[in-house]
Structure 1
Amino acid sequence: MQGYPTARAGQVVGLLGGSFDPPHSAHVHITKTALRRFGLDKLWWLVSPGNPLKANGPAPLAERVQASRAVMKHPKVEVTDLEARLGTRFTAQTLAALIDRYPGVRFVWLMGADNLGQFDQWQDWQWIMETVPIGVMARPGDRISARMSKAARVYRDAKLSGRSSQVLGQGEAPRWCFINMPMSDMSSTAIRARGEW
């Protein structure tokens, strides 16, 4: 599987999808926090070809992958262009393809609390919730809307406490965990607005 990251059956692999347009220190911060707090063996950045919920396309994929590899250096983290390789556009399609390609690997989908707030707009969001555990990381200003979101309400009985975050990937979905973390308000949007990308 040249060009694909490696993982063994039984390993817990976190998946952090995004446009990374551009990647920055807050992405690195949430990655290191997720590795530690969710007890992950590995974490893969899924640099997306494009976000279906965003009107304007991002910078070229190769440019974003290269920039991501320059900022994210950690032995347990791999920056990938898996969605382009797999030919998938939506998270549910990507997860189905990865589960098929990596039998026995325990994937955990990672997202910021802002994404949980709009998760019910994602294609096949309930299938995602019922297929892989989800680790949610608090970002500035998104805690309340995330906790009141449709996804949080529908799956309230599947929520693990923050103290149980280490075992998130060890159990069967649906299960999700919301963790608070030191805040960073850095954003790719702000970097682009300043003309730094």
Structure 2
Amino acid sequence: MKVGFMGGTFDPIHYGHLLAAESAREACGLDEVWFVPAGHPPLKENGPEADGESRLEMVYRAIDFQPHFRAMDLELEREGTSYTIDTIKALHELYPGRTFSIIIGTDRVNDLPQWHEIEALAGMVSFIGVTRAGETFRPEQLPKYITDKLTLVDMPLLDISSTIIKERIAAGRSIRFLLPEKVHSFIRRNGLYEPE
């Protein structure tokens, strides 16, 4: 079984994440895409604003009734920094026989050389770089062990980010139609991302 691994804070998850996952699934013939909210991501200066339980719940609500999408709490259950290589090792042990491809935006592909134990990780997975609006991708600056395992996938331009959603909430503006209605309802009901 070919599985796409989609990590990130999902703070909150939105249509851009879902469209990237579906674009990668379709283009690369993935059987499933697994969404794995990060506990403590190493390359983000500030941690997630919403707690892990809320972020996982939003992922569940966003992918509800999508037969090819699953949510996993692996990183939220683990203490310390969420290194992707540790998660991939755990997934290989828990689900032998599956091949994993890490789905990331092309903005994050440029950061791959900074990832923890990236050479070892590249030996265990492939990478699917999803192009998004306004991003610059520089494959010539990446080492060969990454480009040899990298597939680029286009997705329709959809300029939505978790940051934009949180800024709109802080400004008292609508976030409807930027993310699934069940996620929108959860955010509103729980007062997430509202200024204190």
- Tell me how far apart the structure 1 counterparts of residues 88 and 96 of structure 2 sit (CA, whole Å): 12
What TM-score comes out, normalization by structure 1 length?
0.78
**Given the alignment, which residue of 63, 87, 107 partners 1:72?**
63
After superposition, where does 1:1-197 map in structure 2 within 5 Å? Answer: 11-58=1-48, 59-73=50-64, 74-87=66-79, 89-145=82-138, 147-151=139-143, 153=144, 155-156=146-147, 158=148, 175-195=149-169, 197=193
- Tell me how far apart the structure 2 counterparts of residues 37 and 128 of structure 1 sit (CA, whole Å): 22
Report the alpha carbon displacement of residue 95 of structure 1 after superposing the two structures with TM: 0.8
Gaps of 5+ in 1: 1-10, 159-174
Report the alpha carbon displacement of residue 84 of structure 1 after superposing the two structures with TM: 2.3
Q: Which has the higher mean CA deviation after the structures are superposed, 16-25 or 32-41?
A: 32-41
- Tell me how far apart the structure 2 counterparts of residues 94 and 43 of structure 1 sit (CA, whole Å): 15
The aligned counterpart of 1:165 is none
3-state secondary structure, aligned to 1:131: coil
- Tell me how far apart the structure 2 counterparts of residues 142 and 134 of structure 1 sit (CA, whole Å): 17
Question: Are 2:25 and 2:33, in contact at CA under 8 Å, matched by a contact in 1?
Answer: yes
- Tell me how far apart the structure 1 counterparts of residues 141 and 14 of structure 2 sit (CA, whole Å): 27
Report percent identity of matched pairs. Answer: 30
Matched residue count: 168
What TM-score comes out, normalization by structure 2 length?
0.79
The aligned counterpart of 2:190 is none
Aligned residues: CA RMSD: 1.8
Question: Are 2:85 and 2:116, in contact at CA under 8 Å, matched by a contact in 1?
Answer: yes
- Tell me how far apart the structure 1 counterparts of residues 16 and 6 of structure 2 sit (CA, whole Å): 13
